Structure 1
């Protein structure tokens, strides 16, 4: 079987990301929060370790949102009718995104709240 060159595979992946951003509300919300965290990270001068944790969490949440979108598209392709297994697939994928987002918020609070409190107590 012939495989496309790497640059074409990269183009397909970028196209998938762009399509997801254009069509899915939730990834736009995640990206807005990611941008806000990046701004706060510069303002509060995060350490290298804190940046690494944030970048890892950005990748986790955005990746799971992309996988969730892919699962929803495949399920919709397979059936337009209600099916309990389709619901499980969609709900479970959405749950994975939710868990990663909640974990990211908790970790973000652990990183940023002490910095905010030290700024306020000046």
Structure 2
């Protein structure tokens, strides 16, 4: 095992997170992440519910990172509009949208009954 090489790869991964946090959509995901975590703490969700919430937060963030990487590759390949590059970007964005919709649905299933019960 090459420990220095492994540590460098972590350094680059953390740099990638820094790049991601400068994207507008990632800032929205950060806001949503904080809101969901605060809601989970406030509503005392179960360990199983936390597992689902954390898993979906991670999936949304991973999808956003992949989407951002694909967009940056497309922009590097062609600075001008190309229909195929447009479709590639749309498909990458669709991946983020799909997992975000699933996350919202799971959030509604977990949080809505607890919110309604507390009213």
Could you tell me the TM-score, scaled by structure 1's length? 0.92
* Residue correspondences, number: 117
**Structure 2: unaligned runs, 5 residues or longer:** none
Residue 84 of structure 1 and its aligned partner are, at CA, apart by: 1.3
Question: 1:6-27: per-residue Cα shift (whole Å, max 9, x none)?
Answer: 11000001101111102x1001
Which residue of 2 is the match for residue 17 of structure 1? Answer: 17
Structure 1 runs of 4+ off > 2 angstroms? none
RMSD across aligned C-alpha pairs, in angstroms?
1.2
Q: Distance in 1 between matches of 2:73 and 2:32?
A: 28
Could you tell me the TM-score, scaled by structure 2's length? 0.95
Which residue of 1 is the match for residue 94 of structure 2? Answer: 95
Query: Which segment drifts farther, 50-59 or 79-88?
Result: 79-88
Which residue of 1 is the match for residue 46 of structure 2? Answer: 47
In the alignment, does 2:66 pair up with 1:67?
yes
